[in-house]
Every structure is written in C-alpha cells, then in structure tokens.
Amino acid sequence: MPVNLSIKAVPDALAAGLRARAAANHRSLQRELMTIIEVAASNPAACRLGDAPPATANEPRHRAGREAPEKRSIEEVADALRALFPRARTRGPSSTEIIRQMRDARYGKLDARGRVIKQG
C-alpha cells in the first residue's frame, strides 16, 4: 500500500532549487521528488550525508557520472550542424505548398487579401 510522505518547513531557497531542478528535467515537482527518493532508496551508499555539498538553485546540474558539457561558440555549433546536415532538401514540394494545396482543395483559392475566390 502506498504511503504519503510530508516534509514540513522547507526553506524557500531549497524549494526554489527543487522547482528549478524539476523544470530543468521536464518533470513536475512531485515527480522530481519521487525520482530523488527512488535513487536514494535504490543505492543508499551513494547518498550518504556529507558526501557532497547541497546544490543551489543557480548551480548547473548534470546527470550523475557525466562531466559538464564543454562550452562552444555559436559558429562551432553551426559548423557541427552543417557537418551533420550538409545540404538542404531540394526535391519535393515545400510544406507551404502542401498546406496551400490542401486548403485550396477544401475551401477554394484565395485572393491576395485572403478572401475565397468563388469558383463557378
């Protein structure tokens, strides 16, 4: 049977840090707290008090066992993306053309002001 736990008198700074951590991990505060408890309960030796200083709300958080990612300039990131995706798609209709065809098939053609041109 599940048990409800409650922690009273959590300092504002700690609560803000937990909310920031939850947001950074795309989780609700409840799910983030459950994840922290699951990790602590599954590996108690890794979570002994005093092993590491508590994180603050402004510290970067990285996944356990990973180093902080290196900082790169925007030019380096752009070059890496160009290497992954060397050229743009050049064949087939664009998404704009596909949507326009679907709209015209459903409602009829539009004039320059966006009004339906009556066909007929």
CA distance 58 to 73: 22
Residue 2 sits in the same domain as residue 48: yes
Residue 14 sits in the same domain as residue 55: yes
119 or 78: which leads in pLDDT: 78
CA distance 106 to 118: 13
pLDDT digits (tens, 9 = 90+) for 10-58: 999 999 999 999 999 899 999 999 988 888 888 766 656 555 545 544 4
Question: Does residue 110 carry a pLDDT above 80?
Answer: no
**pTM as predicted:** 0.39
- The structure tokens listed for 47 are 């979570």
Q: Which residue has the tokens 């994840």?
A: 35
Contact assessment for residue 22 and residue 32, using Cβ atoms and an 8 Å cutoff: yes
Q: Please state, as a whole number, how many other Cβ atoms lie within 10 Å of the Cβ of residue 103.
A: 12
* Position 73 in a domain: no
Residue 55 sits in the same domain as residue 104: no
**Structural domain boundaries, residue 56:** 1-60
